[in-house]
Amino acid sequence: MSDAQLFEKSEALNSEDLLRAIFEQMPSVPACLTCSFQAEDMIVLSLLRQRLPNVPVLFLETGYHFADTYRFRDQVTRDWKLNLVNVVQQTTVQQQEATFGILHQIDPAKCCQLRKVEPLMESLEPFDLWFTGLRREQSPTRRNLKKIERHRLPSGKTLLKISLLADWSWAQVWEFTGKHQLAYLPQYDRGYLSIGCEPCTAIPTSGADARSGRWGGKKLECGMHTFSEKTDG
């Protein structure tokens, strides 16, 4: 199967069959997962580890996460013996705030650019397959998400971005989580549906999309999934 055929067939394959097809075609290609330890990421991680037990798990260590998130990350890392890669920034939170002020309050886009986007783009350089837990249902900005997309990083390097759960509903996420007894972040039990940095995460209003509680409703993306250039080449 050529890359073009894989792209074409990917939308009709379920997550496990797609994963199998990818690794049958590209068995030795360097792969990673970007992981915030949300429910979707835990599902993709559980599937990936069946084929790549030592897959690098890239966690964006912004310095602003919930204490619960850090505890959960550390517990899962121990329990699953993860190859965790904490992606850190060139400046600490204290240095950034001393220079720019409280960016997540006055310029959240710049805060995300400095603490998420730029470090992530650099950390993706060694890899050719980038797995994510993105779903189309999560927000309007992800409505046209494909299960496999080719992306170009700012450096010019291209890689395949793979979203195994692109067509999953929230109900499917929780059905899989319960069926396979996967651990999940405790914030979900408090009503959170999309969990990122604590200052920029709120419980969404009833009936609103999952990411409406992020950044006070001022935006829906940090930029890490929109900054790389999607390309057909």
Q: What is the pLDDT of residues 103-134, one digit of tens each?
A: 677 788 888 888 899 999 999 999 999 999 99
The domain tally of the chain equals: 1
Average pLDDT for residues 179-200, to the nearest whole number? 93
Residue 154 has pLDDT above 60, yes or no: yes
The backbone torsions φ and ψ at residue 169, rounded to the nearest 5 degrees and listed phi first, read -90, 165
pLDDT of residue 85: 98
Of 5-9, 30-34, 105-109, give the lowest mean pLDDT range. 105-109
28 domain-assigned: yes
User: Active-site residue among 35, 197, 200, 222?
Assistant: 222
DSSP 115: I
What distance lies between CA 213 and its chain's CA centroid? 17
Judge residue 40's burial from the number of C-beta atoms within 10 Å of its C-beta, 0-12 exposed, 13-18 middle, 19 or more buried: buried
Look at residue 62 and tell me if it is in a domain: yes
| % of the chain beyond a pLDDT of 90 | 61
Strand, coil or helix: 60:
strand
Does an H or E element contain 4, and which?
A: helix 3-10
Q: Is the pLDDT of residue 222 over 60?
A: no
Q: Return all residues near 188 (Cβ < 8 A) that are at least 6 apart.
A: 39, 195
Q: Specify the amino acid at residue 21.
A: A
Residue type, 184: Y
Q: Catalytic residue at 222?
A: yes
User: ∠81-86-91 over CA atoms, to 5°?
Assistant: 165
Question: What pLDDT band is residue 51 in, cutting at 50, 70 and 90?
Answer: very high
122 in a domain, yes or no? yes
pLDDT at res. 225: 43
The domain that contains 177 carries what CATH number? 3.40.50.620
pLDDT of residue 73: 98
Higher-pLDDT residue of 200 and 39 is 39
Q: Is the pLDDT of residue 221 over 50?
A: no
Domain that holds residue 91: 3-228
pLDDT in tens, 58-109: 999 998 899 999 999 999 999 999 999 999 988 887 886 777 777 677 788 8
Among 60-64, 96-100, 166-170, 221-225, which is the least confidently predicted range? 221-225
233 occurs within a structural domain: no
Q: Cβ atoms within 10 A of the Cβ of 94, count?
A: 9
